[in-house]
Amino acid sequence: MVLPVLIALCLFIVLRRRRHIPKKRHHFIDSGPERKPSLEEPVSDFHSIAAPRSNWYHHLQAKGIIRGPTEALDWSGKGQHVEYTVEDEDTVPLVSEKIIGHSATALVESVRWRGVLLARKKVRCNKQLTCYDAVKEVTHLQRLQNNHLVQVVGTYIVRNDLSILLHPVTEWNLEEFMDDTLDRLSDPDDFPGSYEHIGRVSALKTFFGCLSNAIYYIHRMNIKHMDIKPKNLLVRRTNMLEEFKVYVADFGIARSYNCPEEAETDSWTAFTRTYAAPEVVMQSKRGFNADMFSLGCVYTEMLATIFSTASCNRKAEVRSLRGDPSGDTSYQANIVAMQTWLWRIDKQAFVNAISETDRKASQMFLAELPHLLHCDPARRPTSEVMANCTKPLRCLKCDLGPELLGAAEPAAKAIS
C-alpha cells in the first residue's frame, strides 16, 4: 500500500518539474528579464526595439543621414529623423509661430523647440518631387559643418510632407538686407553715417571674406551649390552692437561628387537666370567655377550697396546697366557692361577703410572681382584664390566649426 503511494508521489514531482523547465531560447534573444524600450536609451536601440525599420529609414541610412546615437540630436524624443502618422501629428514637439517664406514647392515657418527658434521647411512631395529627391538637401547639409552654413536639426514625415528643421532663423536674406540698407539712406538726418549704417557697411565688407571662405569649404567637400544668389544667403543681427553674420543656405539643387573631376558635368539642371553662369544657361559643361560666376554677381551688388549714398543708388545703377537689346537682364548676358562698371568705379574708399596691413589683400580682391564674371570658366578665380585674397576680411568665427544651437532670437526670415 505504501509503495504505490510513493511511486505516484515521485511521478507527480517529476511531472511538475518538467512543466517548469523553460523552453530553449534562440541564441539571439536575451535570456534576461523582459524589458520595455526607454526614451533615455540611445536612439538606435529604441527604434530597433520599438518597430521594424521602414524603407524610408533604410534610404536615409544608405545616404549617410542617420547618425550614431552620440551624434544625433533627438529633438523629437523618437530620434533625429522621424516618421509620424496622421494621428500622431499633434505630438510633434514644435510650436508654430508664423509663416516666413515660401516657394513653388515649400512653405517655411518659424517654430519653437525648447526655447530655440528653428526654421521648418515643409516640402509637399508628389510624383514630380518625391521625398527621396527633397531629402538630398539634408544629405548635403549633414556633410557640411561650417560656421557660415545653416545646420540641419532634424526631419520628419507626415503623409506626403517632408519637414526639414534648420538653424538659425534670420531677420533678412542678403537681398533684403541690402535693400533695407539702401532704403534707410533716404533719411539723411537719421541713417547715413549713423552707427547702424557704419555697422552694415562694415558687415558687408566682412561678408566678402566669410562667403569666400564658406564657398571654398563647400568646394573642398566636392559639392557644387548651383544656386548662389542674394535670396539664398541669410543675414542675422548677432548683438546690439550692430554686428551681423551671413549664412549660405538652400542646397536644394546642389550636387555632390567623389572628386573634383566628376564635378565637370553637362546634364540638365535648374538655375536662376539672373545669377547663373553662361555655361549653366547654355546647359553646357560646367564645374565649380559656375558657382564663382554667381558669387561674382552677388559681390557686385554688395559692392554697389557699399558705395551707395543718399543721392546715388549704385545698386540701382547696376540693375539699369543689365539690359541688353533683347531685354535679358541676367549678368551673363551683360558681362562686358558689368566688368566695365567694376573696373571704372572708384574703389579707393573701400581700400582706405581697411587697416593698412590688410590693404594689399583688399586691392587683390578688388582686382580679381571683375574676373569672376569672365565668360570663360577657366579665366575665373577659383574659390581657393578668393578665400586667400579675402582672408583679412573674414570674421573671427569663420574657422570655429558649426554654430551651436542658441536661444531663440526675434527673427523672421529663413530658407525658401
Per-residue pLDDT, 415: 52
**What average pLDDT does this structure show over 107-126?**
94
Class of domain 54-65+79-167: alpha beta
> Is residue 304 within 8 Å of 296, Cβ to Cβ?
no
SS3 content of the chain, % helix, strand, coil (to 5): 40, 15, 40
Residue-wise pLDDT for 59-90, tens only, equals 999 988 998 887 888 999 999 999 999 999 99
Which residues fall within 8 angstroms of residue 218, CB to CB, at 6 or more apart? 144, 146, 149, 224, 225, 248, 291, 383
- Binned at pLDDT 50, 70 and 90, residue 239 comes out as confident
Cell (9 digits) for 50:
520599438
DSSP state of 39: T
Q: Which fold has domain 172-393?
A: Transferase(Phosphotransferase); domain 1 (1.10.510)
Side chain identity at residue 328, one-letter code: D
Burial 366-388, CB ≥16 within 10 A → b, else e:
bebbbbbbbeebeebbebebbbb
pLDDT digits (tens, 9 = 90+) for 9-44: 666 665 555 544 444 333 323 333 433 333 333 444
- Listed by start position, the domains of the chain span 54-65+79-167, 172-393
Which backbone phi and psi does 164 adopt, to 5 degrees? -110, 125
Mean residue pLDDT across the chain: 85
User: 224 forms bridges with which residues in the sheet?
Assistant: 255
The pLDDT of residue 31 is 34
d(CA 260, CA 379): 17
Count of H-run helices and E-run strands, the chain: 14, 11
